[in-house]
């Protein structure tokens, strides 16, 4: 993509009135536009990141035999009345309160599953979607970490026995850890025991990513690294008995629950006279983008991990002429997603945009580098650059 053709533009100053780092950086760099408190447009740059996150999620969930569907966000009131969750603060009610906008989807998936899962051989089953959710959040001040409209990946599983749910729950836990790892967050994300909520016997489990921007406080066991949400009563680590914990702020990037039979009872979903047992699992997709920005940034801008960066390479042209255009085409042909900065701007302005947008690799091609048949390559977040011969560039990039 030529920088001159990118729809959004970077701003020189921070947006006014924003307190959170993710909102400041994402707005300044042209990734999101704010329509209202907690309501954002994902501009082309951020949609590329979101699509990459979604691709990672789909590949890991498909691997554990989950199947993707897409349910309506517009939900009839009657479904929610069956579970007593119509009159909750999260629910946006519309059309004379005949409909609500889905803030989670147990009320839709349970009667749906009942239609198609009719006998023992249809179990176990796991279904997921990537969908826009609506929640009337009172505190929508954390940029895309807490939207009133946001993208969630929610999954629901159906089982005939507790043991079967336990086995699947473990698989989801591993899949989630893999997803956060592939998003570059492995070293920051902790499997965390949390309150089970009104209908869960034991704990629920959260995936918490360390950052000062986090609204949650977790205690990390100094011995085995299991984390506990502050809201959970504890004296000792329930896993290893250790009594020493480290207190940290974190963002909840995912949450998994054993639902038991709460929803199958409400919708009378039974097989052989026994209520079906359910699990539910959720990842905040747009919150993950905000989290990545909170974790990976410096005074110059965002530093995207390469797996989720909107583009792989930022190619800065400084009077390289024909040769620059050739290199741009060659890199794209090799499969790299490249921003080719062809704009009539100073080199300094181009460098600062490359840093602000956070593209993992910057390549400069100029009259000077071309004298040596080379380009200058620098990784975002590193100071030193390397001169690489043009004919060796793709080999060099493979190792980056
Ligand atoms: P929180 O405690 O942060 O309000 P939650 O526990 O209500 O979140 P869940 O119902 O568990 O959220 O939703 C699953 C996931 O969706 C969460 O782990 C989080 O990553 C994401 N999420 C929840 N609410 C929002 C929101 N308002 N904006 C963006 N992402 C959200
Ligand atoms: Mg939660």
DSSP state of 165: H
Tokens of 294: 């909170």
Give the distance (Å) from ligand 2 centre to CA of residue 298.
Answer: 29
Distance from C-alpha of 280 to C-alpha of 161, rounded to nearest angstrom = 15
The torsion angles phi and psi of 210, rounded to 5 degrees, stand at -70, 125
Q: What is the pLDDT of residue 74?
A: 97
Inter-residue contact 365 to 375 (CB < 8 Å): yes
Q: What is the pLDDT of residue 198?
A: 60
Q: DSSP of 179-192, one letter per residue?
A: HHHHTT-GGGEEEE
**CB atoms near residue 330 (< 10 Å):** 14
Q: Is the CB of 102 under 6 A from ligand 1?
A: no
Inter-residue contact 173 to 182 (CB < 8 Å): no
Q: What is the pLDDT of residue 196?
A: 79
Tokens of 135: 């929640």
Q: What is the pLDDT of residue 213?
A: 95
Report which secondary-structure segment, H or E, holds 228.
Answer: strand 227-229
Q: Is the CB of 229 under 6 A from ligand 1?
A: no
Q: Is the CB of 254 under 6 A from ligand 1?
A: yes
Q: Is the CB of 100 under 6 A from ligand 1?
A: no
Q: Is the CB of 287 under 6 A from ligand 1?
A: yes
Q: Going by CA atoms, what residue is nearest to atom 3 of ligand 1?
A: 252
0.95 cut: is pTM over it?
yes
Q: Is the CB of 149 under 6 A from ligand 1?
A: no
* CA quadruple 285, 290, 293, 296: dihedral sign: negative
Q: What is the pLDDT of residue 340?
A: 98
Among the bound ligands, the one closest to the CA of 89? 1
The torsion angles phi and psi of 10, rounded to 5 degrees, stand at -80, 155
Q: Is the CB of 284 under 6 A from ligand 1?
A: yes
For 107-162, how does the pLDDT look when each residue is reduced to its tens digit (9 = 90+)? 999 999 999 999 999 999 999 999 999 999 998 889 999 999 999 999 999 999 99
Give the distance (Å) from ligand 1 centre to CA of residue 284.
Answer: 6
* CA quadruple 301, 305, 39, 37: dihedral sign: negative
Ligand 1 nearest-atom number relative to CA 282? 14
Q: Is the CB of 152 under 6 A from ligand 1?
A: yes
Tokens of 223: 């011995």
Give the distance (Å) from ligand 2 centre to CA of residue 308.
Answer: 24
Q: What is the pLDDT of residue 200?
A: 60
Distance from C-alpha of 238 to C-alpha of 226, rounded to nearest angstrom = 9
For 200-229, how does the pLDDT look when each residue is reduced to its tens digit (9 = 90+)? 667 899 999 999 999 999 999 999 999 999
Ligand 1 nearest-atom number relative to CA 290? 29
Summary count for the chain: helices (H), strands (E): 11, 23
For ligand 1, mutation pick of 140, 153, 198, 255 (most atoms within 8 Å of CB): 255
**CB atoms near residue 356 (< 10 Å):** 19
Inter-residue contact 324 to 340 (CB < 8 Å): yes
| 235-270 b/e (C-beta count within 10 Å ≥ 16 → b) | eebeeeeeeebeebebbbbbbbbbbbebbbbbbebe
Inter-residue contact 313 to 170 (CB < 8 Å): no
Name all domains of the chain by residue range, CATH numbers in brackets.
Answer: 12-298 (3.30.930.10), 311-398 (3.40.50.800)
Cα angle 92, 95, 97; round to 5: 60
Query: Which residues of the chain fall below pLDDT 50?
Result: none
| Crossing angle for the helix pair 44-63 and 162-182, to the nearest 10 degrees | 140
Q: Provide the residue count of the chain.
A: 400
Q: Is the CB of 106 under 6 A from ligand 1?
A: no
Tokens of 86: 């119509």
Q: Where are the beta strands (DSSP E) in 62-109?
A: 67-68, 74-76, 92-94, 99-101
């Amino acid at each position: 993509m030529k920088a001159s053709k990118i729809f959004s533009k970077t701003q020189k100053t921070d947006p006014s009135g924003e307190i959170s780092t993710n909102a400041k950086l994402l707005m300044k760099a042209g990734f999101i536009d704010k329509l209202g408190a907690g309501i954002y447009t994902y501009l082309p740059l951020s949609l590329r990141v979101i699509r990459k996150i979604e691709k990672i999620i789909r590949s890991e969930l498909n691997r554990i035999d989950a199947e993707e569907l897409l349910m309506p966000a517009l939900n009839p009131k009657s479904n929610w009345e069956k579970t007593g969750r119509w009159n909750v603060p999260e629910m946006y009610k519309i059309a004379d309160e005949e409909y609500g906008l889905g803030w989670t989807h147990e009320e839709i998936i349970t009667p749906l599953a009942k239609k198609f899962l009719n006998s023992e051989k249809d179990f176990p089953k796991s279904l997921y979607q990537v969908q826009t959710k609506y929640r009337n959040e009172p505190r929508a001040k954390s940029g895309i970490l807490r939207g009133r409209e946001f993208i969630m990946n929610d999954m629901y599983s159906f089982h005939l026995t507790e043991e079967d749910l336990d086995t699947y729950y473990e698989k989801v836990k591993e899949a989630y850890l893999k997803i956060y790892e592939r998003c570059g967050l492995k070293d920051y994300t902790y499997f965390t025991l949390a309150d089970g909520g009104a209908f869960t016997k034991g704990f629920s489990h959260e995936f918490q990513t360390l950052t000062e921007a986090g609204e949650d406080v977790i205690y990390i066991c100094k011995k085995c690294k299991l984390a506990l949400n502050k809201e959970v009563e504890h004296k000792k680590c329930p896993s290893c008995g250790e009594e020493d914990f480290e207190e940290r702020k974190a963002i909840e990037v995912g949450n998994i629950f054993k639902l038991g039979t709460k929803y199958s009872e409400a919708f009378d979903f039974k097989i052989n006279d026994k209520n079906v047992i359910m699990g539910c699992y959720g990842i905040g997709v747009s919150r993950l983008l905000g989290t990545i920005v909170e974790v990976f940034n410096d005074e110059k801008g965002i530093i995207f991990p390469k797996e989720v960066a909107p583009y792989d390479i930022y190619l800065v042209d400084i009077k390289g002429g024909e040769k620059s255009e050739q290199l741009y085409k060659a890199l794209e042909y090799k499969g790299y997603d490249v921003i080719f900065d062809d704009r009539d701007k100073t080199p300094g302005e181009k460098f600062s945009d490359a840093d602000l947008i956070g593209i993992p690799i910057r390549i400069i091609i100029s009259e000077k580098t071309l004298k040596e048949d080379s380009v200058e390559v620098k990784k975002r977040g590193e100071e030193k650059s390397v001169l690489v011969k043009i004919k060796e560039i793709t080999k060099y990039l493979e190792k980056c």
